[in-house]
Amino acid sequence: MDWREALQRLMAGNRRFVEGKSIQPHRAFPLQHRWSDEARPLAVILGCSDAVVSPELIFDQGFGDLFVIRVAGNVVARSVLGSMQFAGAHLGTQLFIVLGHEGCGAVEAALEEHRGRAGQPGSIEVLMRLIRPALNDLDPQLEGPAALMAAVEANVRWSVRHIIAMPGVRKAIDEARIQILGAVCELESGLVRFLD
Ligand SMILES: [Zn+2]
C-alpha cells in the first residue's frame, strides 16, 4: 500500500481510539485478510516498550496490520535497522514511524544522567548511550515536564535521523517511494502527534 494511504488509515484509527470509537479490526483467527492483497503491514512502527503505548491499540489496528519493533526509548540499534530493512525489502512496507511518548521513563533516565544527576547500571547504560546524543542540543533552561517533552521529541528526531542515514533511504524518500515520520503519543488523550 502507498504510504500516503497507510498514513491516512493510521491517523483515522488513532482518531477512533482517541474518541473512544475503536472498531478493533482483524482481531480473530484465522487471518483471512493476511493472504489478501491488503496483507502487507500498513507501517513499520518503532515504539517504546512502555506498557501503555501499544501501537495496535492506539492506531486501532489488528493482527497483520503493523510491523512493530519495540525497545525502551525507541532507540535505533543495529538489529532495529535490520528489522526495518527486512520490512521494507520483503514486505514492501513504505511507511516507517518512530513513535515516542509523553513521560517516557527511558528518556527521563537519560535526561537525568545527561544533567549529571544519576548513573544507570549495566545494560541500561547501553540504552542510555543510544539516547544521550539526542539530548545535546536541549535547552538547559527547561525543567520538569517541559524538559522531558523536549527530550522525548529530540530522541524521536534522533532515531529518525539514524534511519534516514541508512544507504538508499534518503533517495527513496526524495522519490516519494517511502516515508519516515516521527511522532509522539500524548498519554492523557492517546493522540498521536506527528512531528514536522
Ligand atoms: Zn518510553
Q: What is the pLDDT of residues 16-73, one digit of tens each?
A: 999 999 999 988 876 766 656 556 899 999 999 999 999 999 999 998 899 999 999 9
Written as nine digits, the cell of 52 is 501503555
CA of 100 to the centre of ligand 1 (A): 7
Where in 18-153 does DSSP place strands (E)? 43-47, 66-70, 95-101
pLDDT at 126: 86
Full domain range(s) for residue 137: 3-194
Q: Ligand 1 being an ion, which residues bring their Cβ within 5 A of it?
A: 48, 50, 104, 106
CA of 18 to the centre of ligand 1 (A): 19
For the chain, the domain total comes to: 1
Q: At what angle do helices 144-164 and 105-114 cross, to 10 degrees?
A: 100
Contact 51, 5 (CB under 8 A): no
Written as nine digits, the cell of 175 is 522519490
In the block, cell 515504539 appears at 47
Q: At what angle do helices 78-90 and 144-164 cross, to 10 degrees?
A: 60
CA of 5 to the centre of ligand 1 (A): 28
pTM: 0.94
CA of 32 to the centre of ligand 1 (A): 33
Written as nine digits, the cell of 121 is 547500571
CA of 99 to the centre of ligand 1 (A): 9
CA of 13 to the centre of ligand 1 (A): 21
CA of 21 to the centre of ligand 1 (A): 25
Q: Shortest CA distance to 42 belongs to which of 33, 32, 51, 50?
A: 33
Residue 174 C-alpha from the chain's centroid: 21
pLDDT at 35: 58
CA of 49 to the centre of ligand 1 (A): 6
- Give all strands of the β-sheet with 43-47 in edge-to-edge order: 66-70, 43-47, 95-101, 179-185, 192-194
CA of 47 to the centre of ligand 1 (A): 8
CA of 84 to the centre of ligand 1 (A): 19
Buried b (16+ CB within 10 A) or exposed e, 63-102: ebbbbbbbbbbbbbeeebbebbbebbeeeebbbbbbbbbb
Q: How high is the mean pLDDT in each 10-residue block of the chain (196 residues)?
A: 95 98 88 64 97 97 94 94 91 95 96 84 86 94 95 98 94 96 97 96
Q: Is 160 exposed, middle or buried (0-12, 13-18, 19+ CB in 10 A)?
A: buried
CA of 102 to the centre of ligand 1 (A): 8
CATH of the domain at 133: 3.40.1050.10
CA of 31 to the centre of ligand 1 (A): 30
Where in 58-117 does DSSP place strands (E)? 66-70, 95-101
Q: What is the DSSP letter of 35?
A: G
